Amino acid sequence: MYLCDELMTSELSMEVPVYCLDKCSEVTRRFFETYAHDADFVARSPGRVNIIGDHIDYCNFSVLPMAIDVEMLCAVRVLPHETSITLTNADPRFAQRQFDLPLEDSLGIDPATSDWSNYFKCGLLVAHKFLQAGSEPLHDVGMQVFCQGSVPTGGGLSSSAAFICATALATIRAHRGRDCVISKQDLTRITVDAEHYLGINNGGMDQCASVCGQRDHAMYVEFKPILKATPFPLPRGVQFVVSNTLVVSNKFETAPTNYNLRVVECTIAASIIAKRYGITLKGDHGPGDLRDVIDTYCDGLMPDLRSGLEGVDQGIARLATALDLVEETLGPKSKGYTTAEAADALGMSPAQFTTEYLTVFPVRFHTLQLYNRAKHVFSEALRVLLCLRLMTRPVTDTQRFLTTFGALMNESQSSCRDFCDCSCEETEQISQIALENGAYGSRLTGAGWGGCTISLCHGEESVLSVKKALHEQYYKKRFPHLSQRELEAAIIISKPEEGSALYEHCAAV
């Protein structure tokens, strides 16, 4: 399929689909066993993997994720005359929780103590805010909820986004009744910032992929000028092996040195480049990001997909220019900046600099790696566009497509390791094994520091060979005590799947 055909479906104006509840027999049966009553409906949202484009969504550069067939299901009974919420989780590690509405704005959440119900509260809160902004006054309704998830937690497959999106969807449906219509755009828009309540300064990739995923398509997600997800088909036979390193990085505990610090470093790098070239950044919130730098330097937004292939080529040229700016401006200090040096580069006092950049989300560092981070962001955004260009052209030679796409994924992994510093030894080993056993490309996916890897394969044979090699050379050696079930769960073979959906009693569908 060509670019122009795809543009027809590129807006997020589609509705969240509604299917028959019979498809969710296990979660509704567990609901009944728990609450001795039938569920009214089930809300579902899947996990995602990012094929390429990590640590760039928070700089507003486009990414290429897909939804996968692991998911969070929330079976719900609405209690219209009550204000209590009861949450039960199929996973016995997560104990039952109960709380009353209304929720405080801060949710009463202490980001230092993570509890599974916090994710539910985030989804509930953003849905309440959305409903409050509508024409009808918001009347709190109680809910009994049974949650059943198959997205591994802490594995970089966005179990949190799957849970929050399912929760927000369930809350809107609970208030508006079974005839309600919910657009994917609204659901994405309201869930994008939800994790900020938990102290994570994330971008919007996960929620967009979870809500808008399409079967057999990679989603090209743009954040500017508007949030948009455009599906692109992948050549027949393409499969992804998603393999969990089983190294869990606690997002909240590590945020000050890992995720949030990357966001801060990118923002400071943007400000220094802007100052050097006399650019005034107009960030939507705060000082402006690396995307603002290049848009302003080149005098206008990077052309989006509406400009067709020409727009993609212009974007590629701009990002090459952006990489030159990084060399000229930050290259001399590739060893990193102290607070005093960064403040000086911006003509600020260290105190001013700290207030402006280092206080909203707390961070800890020895030196700020501004050169490395900016280099990663611009080069990764460039690789996303190169992949997009491959997908927008008719594929006449599948082998060539796979080799070129795979090489871009491998370059991305090197950049994540060397410039973003978000890889780890286990990820490197898995990627190596996958490449030696038939994968065309392999890289970390998501935030990194452990979590999952994604490897590009073609055909059943290469998938099985990669899977077997990983079992033997990685899992059995590093984790000899894994049960058969744990071993099976560590590798997910997935094609792109459909995004969020509601399941209603068949008569209502």
Site residues (vs ligand NG1, CB under 6 A): 50, 54-55, 57-58, 156, 158, 160, 195, 200, 202-203, 205-206, 251, 259, 446-447
CB closer to ligand NG1, 144 vs 500: 500
**Distance separating alpha carbons of residues 319 and 316, to the nearest angstrom:** 5
Write the Ramachandran bin of 60: left for phi over 0, alpha for psi from -120 to 50, otherwise beta: left
**233 within 8 A of 181, measured Cβ to Cβ:** no
CB closer to ligand NG1, 44 vs 262: 262
Where do we find the tokens 């690789």?
A: 383
Min dist. Cβ of residue 201 to ligand NG1 (A): 8
CB closer to ligand NG1, 182 vs 194: 194
**338 within 8 A of 354, measured Cβ to Cβ:** no
Taking the CA atoms of the chain, what radius of gyration do you get in angstroms? 23
In sign, the C-alpha dihedral spanning 200, 203, 205, 208 is: positive
Active site residue 206: yes
CA distances from 467 to 243, 349, 480 (A): 9, 54, 16
CB closer to ligand NG1, 438 vs 499: 499
Min dist. Cβ of residue 195 to ligand NG1 (A): 5
CA dihedral 304, 495, 71, 48 (to 10 degrees): -40
Min dist. Cβ of residue 26 to ligand NG1 (A): 26
**Distance separating alpha carbons of residues 221 and 496, to the nearest angstrom:** 14
**Distance separating alpha carbons of residues 248 and 27, to the nearest angstrom:** 27
CB closer to ligand NG1, 19 vs 252: 252
Helices (H), 213-358: 251-254, 259-276, 290-297, 308-330, 339-345, 350-357
Using CB atoms, what's the residue nearest to ligand NG1? 446
Where do we find the tokens 């990669």?
A: 466
CB closer to ligand NG1, 162 vs 402: 162
Min dist. Cβ of residue 54 to ligand NG1 (A): 4
In sign, the C-alpha dihedral spanning 263, 374, 211, 75 is: negative
Count of beta carbons in the 10 Å neighbourhood of residue 1: 12
- H or E segment at 477? helix 476-478
Min dist. Cβ of residue 363 to ligand NG1 (A): 15
Beta bridge partners of 323: none
**363 within 8 A of 261, measured Cβ to Cβ:** yes
CB closer to ligand NG1, 197 vs 357: 197
Min dist. Cβ of residue 32 to ligand NG1 (A): 32
Write the Ramachandran bin of 221: left for phi over 0, alpha for psi from -120 to 50, otherwise beta: beta
Min dist. Cβ of residue 158 to ligand NG1 (A): 4
Min dist. Cβ of residue 329 to ligand NG1 (A): 24
Of 40, 57, 206, 304, which residue is the catalytic one? 206
Beta bridge partners of 295: none
CB closer to ligand NG1, 50 vs 379: 50
The angle at the Cα of 319, spanning 317 to 325, to the nearest 5 degrees, equals 115
Query: Which residues are known to be catalytic?
Result: 206
